[in-house]
Structure 1
């Protein structure tokens, strides 16, 4: 059976519009700014552009609170700009996908305004409303003890209609009621068909496993006794009606040859994962696994940091790589290390890399790590130049994400006389906050604000607004596009080489099977890749995740065969030298 366009060799580049490129110097990225950088994306070797939410929104949650699916957020541009972006992508051979956010809307959406206007409004049951509960003393309580993702009750009281509404995220993001067929039909028309008709090629589907909820809304188990509201992922994720809803959506996508990649949090059981991407009953083209980006987080604890060892990362990668390949026919892995919701991969997976040289080495090693994996590739803006988390010296006023600010303010309010707690929590937030991914892209070391703003069009002395979010100061240390584009030893140059290598050998690197090696090694990560048919070339990938030199031995299977060094992160490597420098990686092939 012929492979779909996304199965063949999709390399997706994600853009966060507010922070990608500002074309009009108002301090905010925009759609014309994206268009101006399409050649950069093309030159990387990407063949698909993913644009994070660009829709009309009050932006309480940076655009994931949508007030009109069929309109563009004005600071980003116009509908004409968006239609031009679609055309310009297609003219360059780029597919384009948008974000699909349909678990909830903004409370400013016309649907919710109608829903909350009265209990008798025809759209009342388009959202989830429930009466209050009362304790034995007559105190009013929410319908259950669920905690939202932003560390507050998942229910908000509406004084006008005297009921609570559900919101798994901010109170300004009321959840849609997917049991209402009229609501589903309008969601499909406004949020999906409208944009597919304009020519986009698919969607990244936000919170794709949360549409089916237990409508009796039982209390969650108490796992955090210090908080009146409890994590309830096991109750509202992966509900029984999910296959029904996603099959309805899939039938639409099939008509347009459109790709879907689902965000699938709180789903550690891969039998459940396969339910969504089983090629015999495909509800989604692929899904994002969260195992590898959850290693440093405590289960059920907000902004709780846990230490982890390299074998745990090996387990997480092996689960998805081997699981999807062992289904029949094979499902597709969605391989990523970064996105808009995650801290930067260098800071997360190589935290000891501190100097510019160490950061560069780590960025190249992680590029090799990711591109050697099977499945579709997802690269986040700035990852290709080795952008990092921002410094832990930045104060709370630099954070913009509602999740970070809600948690910081919660800790401050409950710290009492303990003046050390706000500083401690700020360090935790710095490590894993979403803000780290949302600082503006660093285009230049010479231009104002790292080249994020377009050169002034108004003559010398024209006032530039400050960017909406502070730029990481290390753009002056070589972490910018302009300094790297002509440097053959840069992170950017290495990403281009790694993608070209992958595209030259799709049977091995895109569709090949993954075999983990040396599991207990605390410093090096190594694995084999075999061609899709199990015959021919075998690749051996060995990566040093530490800052210190490490030794390795070629696997028994490669010994005695003709072995070549296909690629290394360091420019001068001797084939017989089985020592890796700090953050060094190599790929050997045996024919």
Structure 2
């Protein structure tokens, strides 16, 4: 393995800082809390920590609205705390990746404060400003019909200057104008500053939105009477995106990229797009986050939940495995700070199946070709939160959707059920460390309520139980470190049309692995209809990993939510 390929054998652990560990009793997680838990992460065996934003921020969108890229929000600590975290992590052989949010800033960032101060300010063109346009009734309105991802128009009128600014997300998150070379160089200088400080790379938030069609045309009308349109075709994977990323690589990463990790969050990306983004010869990013598989249980939109068909999941993930087999690299994830809890979504959080299904999900994901990401608490089998009322949600996306949907006549109970299933708040409840008050997360009042099941599901209990979800994740991670077929083998999907069996092989240098998993509550025969038609060669294989105890036969029926990894 060359130094440039180190991430093929690595596992990344995502920390949502405000919900990970509070060290000072203010109810909000912080950097000192992360430092205090580094030995836990070392025991788990992860190679990289990715921190969601910790920069100075008004916290309108939980830190994704940044007011100063080169300072730390007092909520989380200080730059000195970051330096110690980097040093302490490195001492344990763990790299640190920062979240990079450069599609937009906070409206309180000095750049935007200057930009909105007058129409002739030198930084006016650092953001997207447009004059009002005439409406059909003779009045004036937003420059385009684009809808914000957080509901409502993507344009906000600035009364002082009489012009609108673009915000694809919250109105407090104005979009930077990457057409301006001064903007790009300011961003690159900031990135170099962090790398010089010892950071080991970046996860780049919605990075494929930074290039817009400069005429900002209207989007396709969204069904309904809102008058808003879908502008995504004009800013997802925009006309200059590859140019900008290649320029970024040359300006920031050249000469040190082999030791870093760069991953781009790219909503709406296709397999063909991802090949371009991740082709090492093009020098853009190491891998991207795609969202195809986490949209398979949506109907017409995110808040229209439907039952996931396992065959659709296999078809999707299999296509990504095949598409990036020769060029590029996959990132592998079930959940993150923007997604519901994996075991509640893709597994079963019923008490009798939660542990087995949580282990199964870890086994299946980590045995794919790509770099796996573990979201904090996933290694414990943490579940979705039982939100009693709409008032219990804090996430701006969820709050705005509930308000807009109910105002437009949707049934409030149905909207609430959709929020319980899909809200980002499910991922943001505090980490469950032990069975003491507030789960050991804080000695104060937590900023967000702890999931009531923390007395049963917590790190202290799982560390003491060798058969826990935690120790299974530890063994899965160790397998990637020790078995080259996991990090470097090819991938072949099996039983693609089976509704309950997930099966595939990995092969490398004369070694072949077979992964089989039963995504159901019932026993499943491996040699049944549409299942595996050639098990003879596996009868004497070695069982590398299982999740529900040793089977009587490595090729015998799978128990409910059972997964096995065989080696020959």
TM-score relative to the length of structure 1? 0.92
Q: Is the 8 A contact 2:490 2:506 kept in 1?
A: yes
User: Does the alignment pair 1:441 with 2:437?
Assistant: no
Say if 1:213 and 1:239, in contact at 8 Å, map to a contact too. yes
Q: How far off is 1:580 after superposition?
A: 1.3
What SS class does the counterpart of residue 426 from structure 1 fall into?
Answer: helix
Pairwise CA RMSD: 1.5
Q: What is the match of residue 430 of structure 1?
A: 420
State the 1:302 CA deviation: 4.8
1:116-265 to structure 2, matched below 5 A, reads 116-190=116-190, 192-251=191-250, 252-257=252-257, 258-265=260-267
Q: Once structures 1 and 2 are overlaid, which stretch shifts more, 30-39 or 241-250?
A: 241-250
CA deviation map 1:14-67 (0-9, x unaligned) = 100000000011100000000000011111110111111000000100000000
Question: How far apart are the structure 1 equivalents of 2:495 and 2:534?
Answer: 14
SS at match of 1:24: coil
Alpha-carbon separation, structure 2, partners of 1:389 and 1:33: 23
Residues 221, 118 of structure 1: alpha-carbon distance in 2 compared, 3 angstrom cutoff: same
Tell me the residue number matched to 2:495.
518
Question: Residues of 2 paired with 1:486 and 1:422: CA distance?
Answer: 43
**Distance across 1 between alignment mates of 2:226 and 2:6:** 44
Partner of 1:408: 402
Q: Distance in 2 between matches of 1:282 and 1:349?
A: 34
Q: Give the 3-state SS of the residue equivalent to 1:572 in structure 2.
A: coil
Per the TM alignment, residue 572 of structure 1 is displaced from its structure 2 partner at its CA by 2.8
- Paired residue for 1:363? 358
1:565 aligns to 2:543 (yes or no):
yes
CA offsets per residue over residues 308-359 of structure 1, 9 Å max, x none? 31100001111221211132xxx221111111111111111124x411x311
Pair 1:59 & 2:59 matched: yes
Q: Which moved more, 1:554-563 or 1:201-210?
A: 554-563
**What is the aligned counterpart of 1:537 among 506, 511, 523?**
511
Contact 1:146 1:232 in 2 (8 A): yes
Query: Which whole-Å CA distance do the structure 2 matches of 1:127 and 1:42 have between them?
Result: 42
Cα contact 1:527–1:540 (8 A) shared by 2: yes
Which residue of 1 is the match for residue 16 of structure 2? 16
Counterpart contact for 2:302–2:422, Cα < 8 Å: no
User: Which of the residues 424, 438, 463 maps onto 1:485?
Assistant: 463
Q: Distance in 2 between matches of 1:41 and 1:5?
A: 22
Distance in 1, matches of 2:255 and 2:344, equals: 42
Q: Which has the larger displacement, 537-546 or 107-116?
A: 537-546
1:200 and 1:61 map into 2 onto residues whose CA distance is 24
Q: Does 1:289 align with 2:290?
A: yes
Aligned match for 1:396, one of 390, 398, 408? 390
* Partner of residue 380, structure 1: 375
Map of 1:298 onto structure 2: 299
* C-alpha deviation, 1:556, in angstroms: 5.1
SS of structure 2 residue aligned to 1:379: strand
The number of residues matched between the two structures is 561
8 Å CA contact 1:360, 1:490 repeated in 2: yes
What are the within-5 Å matches in structure 2 for residues 83-94 of structure 1? 83-94=83-94
Bigger Cα displacement from structure 2, 561-570 vs 435-444: 561-570
| TM-score after normalising by structure 2 | 0.96
Q: 1:342 aligns with which of 326, 339, 342?
A: 339
- Unmatched tracts of structure 1, length 5 or more: 454-463
Question: Partners in 1 of 2:326 and 2:4 — Cα distance?
Answer: 19
CA contact (8 A) 1:546 1:582 kept: yes
Long gaps (5+) in structure 2: none
